[in-house]
Amino acid sequence: MSNILITGGAGFIGKRLALSLRSAGHNVTVFDNLHAQVHPDSKKTTSELNVAGVIFIFGDIRDIDAVSEAIVDANSEIIVHLAAETGTGQSYDLPAHYCDVNVTGTARLIEALRAAGREGVEVRRVVLAGSRAVYGEGACRDRDGREVTAVPRLSADLAAGDFAPKDANGRPLDPVPSRASNTAPAPASVYASTKLMQEYLLRQGLEQSGMEIAILRLQNVYGAGQSLHNPYTGVLSIFAQQLLDGKPLNIYEDGEIVRDFVYVSDVVAAFHRLCEIAEVPDETLDIGSGTGVTILEVARTMIAALGLEGGRITITGQFRPGDIRYAVADISAAKTALGWAPQVNLSDGIRALVEWARKSA
């Protein structure tokens, strides 16, 4: 059994991971600042953690002394780093704050790890929740079948209703699932840039520490428990809340944006495995369902799951700069390295999400 500290462990993924690791017998400590945008009812969250035997420490990831003290007090062997600002759209409005929490926060975590090391605490593994956002448009094939990385889509093309990813010469490309081993990072938002920096910082800053670094790049995580009140949270929670409020769904572009939605318990299972595996894989791993679905399709599935009539969808043709056309993971490396595979299909997952949202709305 290990002593595991989870930064951001009160959040959507973190709380479920903390409970999962605790129920497997690990000693789990959560370090979190209970960000008001994410936690409308933080008391409920902390008492749920406490009842399960998870130690909760209130603190900010940017506070080196507090983080280092938490690492020492928990005698941590493994750190799972989830604390972050997570809104892609919001990151455009608050670039300095996103860099502060995500980038400086990770740099401070590195310093806190060094300080804890000086106190004799031997952390052996650091696991990061990375994001597929680092790929930008991601892997594509050109018309000759060669795999290439697309450049960011141009606002002028999007305004003209031309939504296809393109190469640097403006030639249209066919998107394919991305994987860390051969898709070059090309972040298209401030959030994505900060997530890529987190990866670089941990690999570079802990290089000579002897600590193992493991990185999972997550696709769109969804499920029961994702904040219904955070306007910057996952699209499926936002859709569920809008439909329950009797509002129509406005869908961007032509409705054909593709996403890979992975249920939260499947993501938790991958992190749980990384905490227990004897040696972490050398490579960064992609975590998703491995299957793409259009936003239009997923909206229709949710309307049906809620037992609502059709006619609630408007395809607006509007676009958001930095939005990605096609985001699907190639999960073959994660399957091999972790002996892991997603278990929850999209219709079961959406059913679970809407049942929970109905009770919580």
- State the residues that interact with ligand NAD by CB under 6 A: 8, 10-14, 32-35, 38-39, 60-62, 82-86, 101, 105, 129, 131, 195, 218, 220-221, 234
Closer residue to ligand NAD in complex, CB, 90/158: 90
Nearest distance in Å: CB 143, ligand NAD = 31
Closer residue to ligand NAD in complex, CB, 85/199: 85
Strand partners, 141: 147, 174
Nearest distance in Å: CB 42, ligand NAD = 8
Strand partners, 136: none
d(CA 123, CA 172): 47
Q: Outline where the chain has alpha helix (H).
A: 12-23, 42-51, 64-73, 88-93, 95-98, 105-118, 155-159, 190-205, 235-244, 264-276, 295-305, 332-338, 346-360
Residue closest to ligand NAD (Cβ)? 11
Taken as a whole, the chain contains a residue count of 361
Residue 98 annotated as catalytic? no
Alpha carbon 125 to its chain's center: 20
Strands 78-81, 174-175: pairing kind = unpaired
Nearest distance in Å: CB 84, ligand NAD = 3
Give, as one character, the DSSP assignment of residue 329: B
Q: Give yes or no for a contact between 317 and 159, defined as CB atoms under 8 angstroms apart.
A: no
Q: Give yes or no for a contact between 186 and 99, defined as CB atoms under 8 angstroms apart.
A: no
Closer residue to ligand NAD in complex, CB, 199/312: 199
Closer residue to ligand NAD in complex, CB, 89/172: 89
Q: Give yes or no for a contact between 86 and 162, defined as CB atoms under 8 angstroms apart.
A: no
Nearest distance in Å: CB 150, ligand NAD = 20
Closer residue to ligand NAD in complex, CB, 87/165: 87
d(CA 138, CA 183): 7
Nearest distance in Å: CB 92, ligand NAD = 16
Q: Active-site residue among 98, 135, 191, 222?
A: 191
Q: Which residue numbers are catalytic?
A: 191
